[in-house]
Amino acid sequence: MTKTRKEILIIGLMLLLVIVLIGVSYAAFKFTGVGQRENTITTGSITMSYTESSNTISLDGALPTTDETGMKRLNPGEYFDFTVSSTITGAVNINYEISAKDVTTSERKIDGSNIKLYLTRLTSDGTEEQVMSPETYNEETNANNFTGRPANEMSLYTSSMSSSESNTYRLRMYVDEDYNPQGDGGNLQFSVQVNVYGRDRVAEEASTVLLNNIPEENQYDDGTDTFITVSTIL
C-alpha cells in the first residue's frame, strides 16, 4: 500500500469516527427549566417549594439507561428537588400525594411507556431514602378523593403529615433501557409537571362518620361523589 493510500485510509477512518460521534451527540441527557430562584405552589393545606424556574422537568434526546445508572444520577440538571410541608397550625393530619403529569408539547415526543421515574426522600444528613422504586410513566384513570389528586396523573407517592412536618424529595426521570433509539430520528422529548395535593384527614373522617350514620336508602353515589337524599311525606 502506497503512502498516499495509507493517508487516505487514515483520513477516511477519522471522518467515520466524527460521523459516529455526531450521530449520538443528540442523546446528551438534559433537564430544562433549571434555575436558582425559589418558587412556591400552595394547594389547600399543602405547600410545595422548589428552586427551579418551573415545576416541570424534561428529557431531550436522552439515551436509554439502566435503573442502576438512572437511580444514581447527580449531575446538575439530572434531578429535581422539591419540599413538601404543611401550612396549618394545630394537631391536624394531612393526606397528601405527589404526582406527575405529562405536559409534553413537542411533536417529537417519546411515548411515556418508555419513560421511568424514581422518587427518593432526603434525610437531614443528605442521604436518600427510596419512596418509589423506578416505575414506567402510567396515569391513574381515577381521582383520589382522600388527597385531592385528579384523574389522569401518575401517582408517585402518598402519605400523611402533621402541621409541623416538612419533607424534601428528589425526582429523577430517564429513558427505559429496553427502548431502542435506532430509527427514531433523535431529539425526542418528554416532560412532566410535578404536583402535590393535600387534604385534611379530619374532614375526610368526619364525612365517613356522617355517611355511616345515614341509611343506605338515603345515599346516592354517582361514581365520583356521594350525596345525601331526603324524602318528604306530605
- The two beta strands, 226-228 and 219-221, are antiparallel
Question: What is the CATH number assigned to the segment(s) 27-199?
Answer: 2.60.120
Number of neighbouring beta carbons within 10 Å of residue 177: 15
Domain range summary for the chain, segments of one domain joined by +: 27-199
Of 54, 60, 66, residue with least CA distance to 78: 60
Above 80 in pLDDT, residue 77?
no
Q: Tell me if the pTM is above 0.75.
A: no
- All three cell numbers of 46, joined, read 399543602
Q: What is the DSSP letter of 152?
A: S
Rounded to whole angstroms, how far apart are CA atoms 230 and 224?
A: 20
Of 200, 206, 108, 218, residue with least CA distance to 163: 200
More confident residue, 155 or 13: 155
Highest mean pLDDT among 36-40, 154-158, 188-192: 154-158
pLDDT, mean of residues 15-39? 38
Whether 213 and 202 have beta carbons less than 8 Å apart is answered as no
Using the Cα atoms of residue 111, residue 122, residue 193 and residue 92 in order, give the sign of their dihedral. Answer: positive
More confident residue, 200 or 197: 197
